[in-house]
Structure 1
Amino acid sequence: MSRSATSTLPISVIGAGLAGLSCAQALLQAGHTVHVFDKSRGPSGRMSTRRAEDAAGPWQCDHGAQYFTARDPQFRAEVARWQQAGVAAVWDARLASFDGTAWTTPATPLERFVGTPRMTSPAGWLVQGLQQVGDRALAQWQTTVQKLERTADGWAITSAEQGLHAQRYSAVLLAVPAPQAVPLLHPVASTGAAVAASARMRGSWAVIVRCAAQVGLPWDGAFINTGPLRWVARDSSKPGRTAPAGTETWLLHASPEWSEAHIEDTAESVTDTLLAAFQSLGGPAPATLQATAHRWRYADTEPALTLGYWWDADAQLGMCGDWISGGKVEGAWLSGQSLARALVG
């Protein structure tokens, strides 16, 4: 497959988390045609928000990434655009830390951002940008890519829902968790598969808690360094959030170590354990709460790789994501930009 023979074909980006959308955005700005595929019902990846309705009314809660920082000037400029568009804002949270004995307050103030009115909003805004460029961009949901094949007329993809796709692509860029990239790359790019296999991604349990009354804790977010919990947050305190009058929504994240040890436990047993730990910190009695558990199979990488991205110019295959770029939301966005520059360059 020669590059000249495929130069007019679109580029396939598999994964519509922040890394994939960042990459697609940069490629479109460079004049390419891009098709984005994701197995979920919409964009955002782990910048995720659960929305539902119960007897008290509609509720929402960020149950993936809780906030993000912006240290890199390029990403800070992007976040400023999000703020201007109304899809991100600073979260002036009252924070605390607990070591099992004493509570402390973080010594160094840090500007923390969240999506508004929910964590999925920046991703949704980026997808709107893709849709505004007309036929040069396509976003297709509920498409689980299972196979890549290099043919004489370009890259072919096969999905669980549609089988072999008719469209051919000049390049395929994977913006998925490392363990999901390995089986896709192994038959066609052993070097890339080895890079993905070297990343150790850990799972994480999250429990969304709906409280019928306001919780009298003196903080909005707390780092917990003992027991099964790692992070507790008053999701209702984030800017732009709405909840039925007098109620609050909280998020409990288990520690990576506890999550890994209990990754195959039932949602019910995980919920019981984390609610009991929340109560021990001063939270409400579990019997007064409604709770929903969510298991993230691939939540973070320890340690995260620092390659930034992976690109095989000969094969026209690449990978981007937070797991290959130091972790965090900022790393995901920068990774997508870097992979796009490598392809364009």
Structure 2
Amino acid sequence: MKERDMAGSAAIVGAGIAGLACASRLTEAGWRVTLFDKGRGPGGRMASKVVTAQGACFAFDYGAQYLTARDPAFVAQVRDWERQGVAAPWPAMGDDAWVGVPGMNALVTHMAAALDVRWSTHIRALRRDADGWRLDHDEMAEGPFDVAVLALPAEQTAGLAAPIDPALVELARAHPSDPCWTVLLGFDAGFSAPDILSAADPIDWAARNSAKPGRKGGEAWTIHATADWSRRHVESDRTSVTASLLRALEERVGTLPVPVHATAHRWRYARSGKAGVGAYHQADTGLAACGDWMIAPRVESAWLSGRQAADLVMA
């Protein structure tokens, strides 16, 4: 029997790098795959945006700042993205460092374009009956599907899996994510400072986003706070967080011009845990899970985990 004749149907909750990598591999094998994501469009923790303020445009990556490619399969994938114009090397961060072009979300957008993704669809519950998996969201129930894959941060995975898979819940709860406050600053003039600043509390990462390959626009800076600082201030308001991290940047580089754009974004689930298991699959129920937290907090890990989940499902 041909592989396509043996293929089934899969529902994937989460259309980030892990979910999209899983979907791509299953689709290539002839599976019918539908992805569901509560976001309004591609991005998630690969989020990017362009902001206009006082007549100037600023391009920001405010999730993952870059990715590294070391596994041979992922290196080949990134090289293919480069050929298609959606990725470029970033030598300033090392020989294996890359960015999406024109923003980090370009990679998610590119992967999602060839797949059936239902954006703005928040899956509230999963349940299995005699016909397969069904997924409940605010509008209706979807299904049945032969396989359900959770491609979410550990905390959200635990929430959806709680009524159906205690082992997955235990694994997810043992590897929680760190929060992260991120501040985006746009200036109407450049200033003297290194393009990338080393970590020093409360700043875990600060960089001139406009210095990355393929970026256009004015002087744009992204600041990620450390996990400890973010945890202590997780319920603080955006105004005070922006002021604190702007002050911390000024302490590092000297007096700054007044930003024409300044805002903060709170990531409750930013840097993932490290379960070190690759991916999760229960063959008897057809439930699988993947994500960077299954391996390590890297974009490459999310991609590899998604591929491994697909392989487990197909096996």
TM-score, normalised to structure 2, is 0.94
1:123 corresponding residue in structure 2: 108
* Aligned partners of 1:8 and 1:170 also within 8 Å: no
Match of 1:305 in 2: 275
With 57-66 and 247-256 compared, the bigger mean Cα shift is at 57-66
**What is the correspondence of 1:258-337 to structure 2 with a 5 Å cutoff?**
258-285=229-256, 287-302=258-273, 304-337=274-307
Which whole-Å deviations, capped at 9, do the CAs of 1:258-282 have from their partners, x for residues lacking one? Answer: 1111111111111110000100111
Deviation (angstroms), 1:326:
1.5
* 1:228-267 pair list within 5 angstroms: 228-243=202-217, 247-267=218-238
Query: What is the identity, as a one-letter code, of the residue corresponding to 2:244?
Result: T
**Alpha-carbon shift at residue 9 of structure 1 (Å):** 5.2
User: How far is the alpha carbon of 1:191 from its aligned partner?
Assistant: 1.1
Tell me the distance in 2 between the aligned counterparts of 1:315 and 1:16: 22
Tell me how far apart the structure 2 counterparts of residues 284 and 320 of structure 1 sit (CA, whole Å): 44
Aligned-pair identity (%): 37
- Cα distance change on mapping 1:336 and 1:288 into 2, 3 Å: closer
Conserved in 1, the CA contact under 8 Å of 2:19 and 2:306? yes
CA distance in 2, matches of 1:214, 1:308: 43
SS of structure 1 residue aligned to 2:155: helix
Aligned length: 310
Following superposition, the deviation at residue 190 of structure 1 comes to: 1.2
Cα displacement string for residues 20-69 of structure 1 (whole angstroms, at most 9, x for unaligned residues): 00000000111101001100011232111022322223322000100111
Q: CA deviation at 1:210?
A: 0.1
Deviation at 1:284, TM superposition (A): 4.5
Tell me by how many angstroms 1:8 deviates.
Answer: 6.7
SS in 1 for 2:271: strand
Rounded to whole Å, the distance in 2 between the matches of 1:260 and 1:286 is 29
| SS state at 2:164 partner | coil
Classify the secondary structure of the residue corresponding to 2:198.
strand
AA aligned to 1:118 is G
Contact 1:279 1:286 in 2 (8 A): no
Q: CA contact under 8 A between 2:46 and 2:64: conserved in structure 1?
A: yes
| Compared CA separation, residues 283 and 61, structure 1 to 2 (3 A) | farther
Alignment partners' CA distance in 2, 1:309 and 1:153: 25
Verify the 8 A CA contact 2:53 2:261 in the aligned structure 1: no
Any gaps of 5 or more consecutive residues in structure 1?
Answer: 1-6, 96-108, 131-137
The alignment status of 1:156 with 2:134, answered yes or no, reads yes
Query: 1: distance between equivalents of 2:121 and 2:145?
Result: 16
What TM-score, normalized to structure 1? 0.86
What SS does structure 2 have at the residue aligned with 1:173?
strand
Say which of 174, 180, 198 aligns to 1:204: 180
| RMSD of aligned alpha carbons | 1.5
Q: Deviations over 1:206-240 (max 9, x none)?
A: 000001101211x211222x331111110001111
Corresponding residue for residue 111 of structure 1: 96
Look up the equivalent residue of 1:158 and give its one-letter code: D
Partner of residue 152, structure 2: 176
Displacement of 1:336: 0.3
Query: Given that residues 7 and 30 in structure 2 are in contact (C-alpha distance below 8 angstroms), is that contact kept between their aligned partners in structure 1?
Result: no
Structure 2 residue 15 is the aligned partner of structure 1 residue 16: yes
1:142 maps to: 120
- Residue 93 of structure 2 corresponds to residue 76 of structure 1: no
Which aligned pairs between 1:27-42 and structure 2 lie closer than 5 A?
27-42=26-41
**Cα deviation 1:181-212 (Å, max 9, x = unaligned):** 11211111111111111112110000000011
Deviation at 1:283, TM superposition (A): 5.0
CA distance in 1 between partners of 2:233 and 2:305 (Å): 31
Residue 307 of structure 1 and its aligned partner are, at CA, apart by 0.5
Output the CA distance in 2 between the equivalents of 1:49 and 1:202.
20
Letter in 2 for 1:222: L
Q: Is the 8 A contact 2:11 2:147 kept in 1?
A: yes
> Which shows bigger deviation, 278-287 or 261-270?
278-287
Q: 1:283 to 1:205 in 2, by over 3 A?
A: farther
Whether the 8 Å contact between 2:53 and 2:260 is mirrored in structure 1 is no
